[in-house]
Structure 1
Amino acid sequence: MWKSWMSIYFLNYVTYYCIITDACLPGYFGPNCAHLCNCRAGSTCKVTGQCKEGCKIGWSGPLCQKENVAYNKPAYQKSDNLTSAELAVDDDISTCAVTLTGMPGWWSVDLGQIYMIKSMFVLTNRLMNLKGVQIYVGREKNMFQMTLCITLRVYGQQASVTCDVPLIGRYVRIINVSGPVILCDVAVYICSSYFFGEECGNQCNCANETEMCNPYTGECSSGCAMGWTGKYCNTECLYRYGQDCRNRCGHCAEGVRCDTMTGFCEEGCEPGWKGIRCDQPCENGTYGENCLSKCGHCRQDEACDVVSGNCRLGCEAGYMDNRCDTVCPHGTYGEDCVFECGHCVHGTICDKVHGFCPAGCHFGWEGVFCSQTCLPGRYGRNCHAECTGCLEGICHPETGKCSKGCTSGRSGPSCDDGCQSGRFGINCEGTCERCKDGEACDPVTGICQAGCLLGFSGSHCLTGCDQGLYGPNCTKKCGFCKKGTVCDSATGLCPDGCVEGYNGDRCMQGHVFNDDSGPQVKIFLGVTIGVVGTMMTIVITCLVLIWQREKLPKKNPPKQHKTSTPVKETSRSIGDTEFGDDVVVV
């Protein structure tokens, strides 16, 4: 819509421009090429009518539209026997018209047609003073039918004359009642058609383009043209436009005035307004110069400021800055991007509005926003993995590495490997290399299920046999190894041989006695028999005493006088089977 209006305005402007420039024939200018250039020969007027080399003779003013209608017109005076009266209108100030001296004189010019006359110029020489000179204007040549324009009240030899009121006439008469008339130059000025003002530098601004306004005031009977106002239609609209400046300009860019005729803003609109006249505010959702910018993402669908684009209530989720047109930077989300994203997998971007991680959480994090670390005993992406083999169930939430080591039978950084053969226990630090036949022990308990190697005992086969034992689980006793040595705990062999009297691989077999054994054997046997006999005698004696004490009655013996008669003792042979009841063995 805006572009279409601008296109129409541009076409109208181009048409108008062509009319007042290139479309005009040489020597003409202005709207409809109605104005004639009055430039000096060889000079052309510009678009405005200004002549680069100046005006031609008889014309003056900024646009060369101020005409001297007295130039080269018929003139006469009271007495012309001295000089010609027309020397005053030849545009040569070196020649003068002079009346007869010694008496009052007068001078007159016939303009050839009736004009509205108000402005004139009079030049004399040092022989005449213009003070008291009277100027008349009339339709008829008869002096008595003329009207006084002005009586000059200034001393000097030249005067720019303005009639007290504009007068209609064809004839102009200058009278000096104090003496002769000496005139070197007389000019009667009028503005050419459609121009007005003291220097005829203003074009008429009438509503009716064919009307010629008052040449002195610019007043138009048809009213003022669009863009002009005032009693005389000579006041250009200021920040207003149209007929009598009734319409106020819109919001043109940089405070530039709109076109006084159309109201168009040639430089565009200031921020917040649009349209060819910049009188339409920006619609909801747009802002800036000519409303070409779109609002950002304001909170609650609020309309942004039409000038700056700022969002008064702040930004909706996912956007930031005053205009809410900047997406949240990496790692933030929410309204005005005040919230930080959680730990999305591989550093991916979280949702700018809600903050959730579309691809899931990074290793060691969980929750809707991936902002919660894994609970104890869990690890990995979204905390889906369990710390199954870790001691006390604690592992690193990201890597799964067991910080306190592995439970019995487990190994590896994450304790998800079993123990190698021959190892067991926490972190597989225990060794079980002494199981029978090289079999592996239980990786958790370390127990050798098949038993131990020869020479070791215990559930974990870590204990060597005690001195004097050997074999499986140390269940066999060593033989009679040479004094100061013990048998091999695995085989039972005596490394330095057996004690004297034993032989065999393990020194468990004794020697057979014979004469070949030498005197040592005989001595040993004699000693042994003697010791055994003595011990048997002592044992038998003790048994007899015990029996006697248990079988004999206990009687108090009668008091007897001391005699020297010995008691008669009887006894049986030791070889008998029984002893007598009265036999006491001492």
Structure 2
Amino acid sequence: MAALLTNFYFLVVWVIFSTVYLCMCCTEGDGHFGWQCDTVTGCFCKQGQRCQQTLGTCPEHCVDNPWGIGCHDEHGNLAYGKPASQSNTNFSYTDDEWFSATLAVDGNNSTADSNCTRTHHQPNTYWTVDLEGLSVIREVTVIKPAAICPQNNEKLCIKNDTSNHVNCISSTNAQCFGGVLRYNISPPILARHVTILKTGQQTLRLCEVIVRGYTYPYNVAFGKRAEQINVINEGDPGRAIDGKTTAYYLLESCTHTNDTLDPWWEVDLGQQYVVYSVTLLNRDENVHGGE
């Protein structure tokens, strides 16, 4: 009899625990979580994976609302190990080594000369990293080799391509402590390329570039069937979902319709989805009419 009562009490406790657990954790496929599991008080988790409120975390990272309950930006460096390049590369004949662009994304924060990039002393030198996909960028930290803050001839450019350097942020708008510049990107910018630019006759040296934020969510429209009202200049509708983020039309990744009354474009996702975000990337060069 005692054993039966023990099992009964255990069953009651387990039912209560399970009920509380289900109330605090959305099931897989809901796509969001929070105290009440809705889009108002909660925040989205990447592709609707199971999430656990009691642990206060989402798998990997959150999408579109990283400041919600239990959500936070990724703590890693989005630029770590990604392809980097610079306007030119200086060479140390003393140490017999190149000051290559990859030294700024190797995870080593040392300010020793051998661990930092360096260009030649030339006009408009720059360094850039390709994040290899869209990211929501919320902060960029630049570690310099000298414990001094740069003048206003250094800029941070965050874009979807590297065709030109416009709409950049001056280093005078960054917090600087002993040669470490921290750019707070508010509001956050959706982009793929991060560039450090120096104007005038300058040498650019960087020891590490740390990009904070989170990778943009999976695009359910990628590679699906798209249509639009008409096509000119080879601007096929499929270009809008080809996975390329370049905004320059001649690189053949933008759509184009004729000058038509009420033009439209649409994509068939192939099945039903809970859509929580739609992002449009327009052309970046001067165009006439709509975009």
- TM-score, normalised to structure 2, is 0.46
Bigger relative CO (Cα 8 Å, ≥ 6 apart): 2
